[in-house]
Structure formats: C-alpha cells, structure tokens
C-alpha cells in the first residue's frame, strides 16, 4: 500500500494518481545523459521512495532520458509488482538525443513506430498506459505524427495518447483524430506563459501536467518550493506537477513542500 498522496489525486489515462508526481529525467544524470550506472543504488532508492514513502503514483519518463536507460531502470526497479498497481508509468516518444544537451524532435512515422516498440521492450509491458508525442516535429505533418500514434493505439500497443509542448491549436487539431489523454507542457511561477493552454485544457476536460515546475531547481529552495508548487496546483484540479530529482533528501523536501490535505 502506498501512503496517501500529497496534494490529492487526479485521474489521468484512466488511473487515479497523485497530483504531485515524479519526473524521472534527472535519474539519468547531468543533462539526462547516461550516468545511470554510476549512481544505480541511489537512483533505484529514489524511484522506490517516490512511490512507497511519498505516495507519488504518477511516474513520468521518456525514451530520450539517458537515452533509454531510465526506462530500463523503471522496469528493473518497479516490475512486475508496481505495474499491476494504481501507478501510472507515462512515457514519451519522438525525440532524438545525438549528444549531451541536445534534444532533436523526430516525428517520422517509421521512427515513432520503432520508438514505441523500444519503450514496450524496455519497460517490459504489452501496452503503454500513456504515451506522449514528446514534441511536434516541424519537419513532419503534425497529423501524420498523431495519426501514427493513433494507429498504434488501434493495434493495442498504446492505451492512451498524450501531447507534450503543444498549444491550443495543436490540441484541437489532434483532437480531430484522437482523444487527448493529457497535455504536458513547461510551466512554473517564473515562466507562466502557458496559462492559456492550462485554461484550454480546463475547458476541454484534459489533464494538464506541468513539467519543470520548480524551474530546473531555481524554485526548489526550502522557502520557494511550497509556494511554487502550490501556485501550480491552485490553477485547477485538472493540473498535476512532476518535479524530479536524483537525491533522496531533495525528494523528501519536495514531498514535504506541499500540503497533504484531503481537500486538495
């Protein structure tokens, strides 16, 4: 049994999970680049404690984290038991990592199909419960990228489809083909520019997942984090946050920085 979730719950991709989730990008080390093996014991403990100690049942990852190594870590750490529980493992496809610090959208249909197969294999599952298009690749028609994920959904390889770093227009366009299960965009108190998308998601009943909610660490201080996370959560019950860390003490600080009210 997991502890009561901090900040209450939200339903995403058919699962009721914690609004305070856990982003796994930092588990791959600086610049999310393949430092996993050197810190394997610590990263494994952080991932386990996120769920078992702090009740974070919304775990967010991507094939680009590492690349690939964080999906392997999640499988090795959490399967098979946690995959059968009320824990959402969300991943993302459509991003290449040519070098540390470089992130290149790649939405060619053949690549997206191969990426989904790779995530299925690394996570050790038959279906991806929630799979985001990591970025809209400007070199490929957006409809083709969304349509490819829709085909994979029809084939039973994806259960729910999400979109990342999109605006209202892209959400509306995608909704012509799929049911948008969640939108994951960058939003924090210092960078509030995506508030129109938050409101658009509210109007459409789509969960909005804020990544980089602590500004990559600039809002993570003891006095800053509570206000930064509460500012996001107070935007509406359809908003979830996925702060990340590779440090157990910092994880505990994040979890303690939000209230644990039944009314959240």
Report if residue 213 sits inside a domain: yes
Alpha-carbon torsion, ordered 32, 33, 37, 42, to 10 deg: -20
pLDDT at 261: 42
Ordered DSSP codes for 65-123: TBTTHHHHHHHHHHTTTGGGSS-EEEEEESEE-SSTT--EE---HHHHHHHHHHHHHHH
Number of domains in the chain: 1
Measured in degrees and rounded to the nearest 5, phi and psi for residue 209 equal: -110, 115
Identify which has the larger pLDDT, 172 or 225: 172
Report if residue 227 sits inside a domain: yes
- Domain assignment of residue 230, given as a range: 9-256
Report if residue 1 sits inside a domain: no
Q: For residue 264, what pLDDT band results from cuts at 50, 70 and 90?
A: very low
Token pair listed for 216: 């990559």
Report if residue 174 sits inside a domain: yes
- Strand pairing category for 208-211 and 180-186: parallel
Q: For residue 262, what pLDDT band results from cuts at 50, 70 and 90?
A: very low
Q: Which pLDDT tens digit goes with each residue over 43-97? A: 999 999 999 999 999 999 999 999 999 999 999 999 887 887 889 999 999 999 9
Q: Tell me the C-alpha distance between 113 and 258, whole Å.
A: 38
Report if residue 3 sits inside a domain: no
Report if residue 52 sits inside a domain: yes
Q: Which pLDDT tens digit goes with each residue over 19-49? A: 999 999 999 988 898 766 556 888 999 999 9
- Which residues does the annotation mark as catalytic? 65
Report if residue 264 sits inside a domain: no
**CATH assignment of the domain containing 233:** 3.20.20.100
Contact status, residue 171 vs residue 183, Cβ threshold 8 Å: yes
**pTM for this structure?**
0.95
Q: Tell me the C-alpha distance between 53 and 89, whole Å.
A: 17
CB under 8 Å to 146, separation ≥6 — which residues? 133, 161, 163, 173, 174, 177, 178
Report if residue 225 sits inside a domain: yes
């Amino acid at each position: 049994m997991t502890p009561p979730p901090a900040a209450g719950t939200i339903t995403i991709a058919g699962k009721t999970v914690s609004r305070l989730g856990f982003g796994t990008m930092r588990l791959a080390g600086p610049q999310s680049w393949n430092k996993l093996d050197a810190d394997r014991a610590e990263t494994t403990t952080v991932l386990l404690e996120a769920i078992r100690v702090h009740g974070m049942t919304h775990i967010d990852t991507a094939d680009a984290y590492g690349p690939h190594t964080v999906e392997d870590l999640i499988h090795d750490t959490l399967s098979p038991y946690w995959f059968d529980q009320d824990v959402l493992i969300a991943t993302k496809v459509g991003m290449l990592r040519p070098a540390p610090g470089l992130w290149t959208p790649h939405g060619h249909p053949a690549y997206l199909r191969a990426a989904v197969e790779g995530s299925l294999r690394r996570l050790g599952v038959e279906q991806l419960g929630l799979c985001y298009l990591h970025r809209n690749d400007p070199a490929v028609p957006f409809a083709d990228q969304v349509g490819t994920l829709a085909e994979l959904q029809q084939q039973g390889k994806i259960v729910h489809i999400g979109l990342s770093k999109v605006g209202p227009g892209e959400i509306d366009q995608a909704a012509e083909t799929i049911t948008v299960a969640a939108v994951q965009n960058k939003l924090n108190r210092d960078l509030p520019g995506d508030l129109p998308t938050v409101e658009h998601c509210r109007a459409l009943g789509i969960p909005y997942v804020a990544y980089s909610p602590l500004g990559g660490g600039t809002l993570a201080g003891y006095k800053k984090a509570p206000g930064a996370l509460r500012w996001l959560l107070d935007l509406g019950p359809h908003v979830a946050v996925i702060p990340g860390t590779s440090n157990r003490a910092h994880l505990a600080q994040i979890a303690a920085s939000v209230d644990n009210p039944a009314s959240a």
